[in-house]
Copies of this chain bind each other. A is one copy, B any other.
């Protein structure tokens, strides 16, 4: 896809965490050349964050902003994406190219996942493409410059919703990257403090979202009510330890 979007092809394009500078060259090319662009907007958000990130490349382009549900209602979620999928198939079959943009990486907790699933069997696989994007944990980690992984280390990426699963992971991983760390923040802070890991835990709220970004090096200094107000836009990185080189 180095030459941009091809007629009749579909592209799930990761735009990274929010800043236009973190799109890949390939993402900018596909967005710039696609005939039609789908931009997701959470029903709780005033605008599409993915579209903001892609803004420098969408000038004069046909953009469909589609609202998707944030509730945990699988039927409603699939119904919403089913409408988008119908439209994508229709436009691709008419020989036009379509890109759907999504925050982060299209295969990591992304809106593209549903759409890709619903397109399976309806568009030939060779006309469906995924353009990777920088995920929030990478941008968050970059703020501290501390390696996530060395040598034999293991990194677990998961949401901070199930704290029992988080606690188990502390015993088998060297680094944890926790998404959606806002809602459960008080209990998460309590857990990491009890395990002596709070000062080895970093937090970034609204990573790469301009002035809203807040970077905290020591989790024990985070105000829990601020963290909760950030909701899903809170990433926590826990440095549990390091594995030694083994043979």
Taking beta carbons and an 8 Å cutoff, which residues of A are in contact with B? 1-2, 12, 16, 19-26, 28-29, 72, 74, 105-110, 112-113, 116-117, 125, 128-135, 138-139, 141-143, 145-159, 161-162, 165, 168-169, 172-173, 245-247
Contact = CB atoms under 8 A, between A and B. Distances in A.
A169 B150 contact: no
27 contacts: A2-B21, A16-B24, A19-B26, A22-B25, A22-B132, A23-B25, A24-B134, A72-B245, A74-B245, A105-B138, A108-B138, A109-B149, A116-B146, A117-B147, A129-B145, A130-B145, A132-B138, A132-B141, A133-B134, A135-B138, A152-B161, A154-B165, A154-B169, A155-B156, A156-B156, A165-B172, A168-B172
Contacts of A109: 149-151
A25 B26 contact: no
Contacts of A1: 21
Contacts of A29: 21
Give 9 nearest A-B pairs by CB, closest first: A113-B147, A21-B26, A130-B142, A132-B138, A154-B158, A155-B157, A107-B148, A132-B134, A72-B245
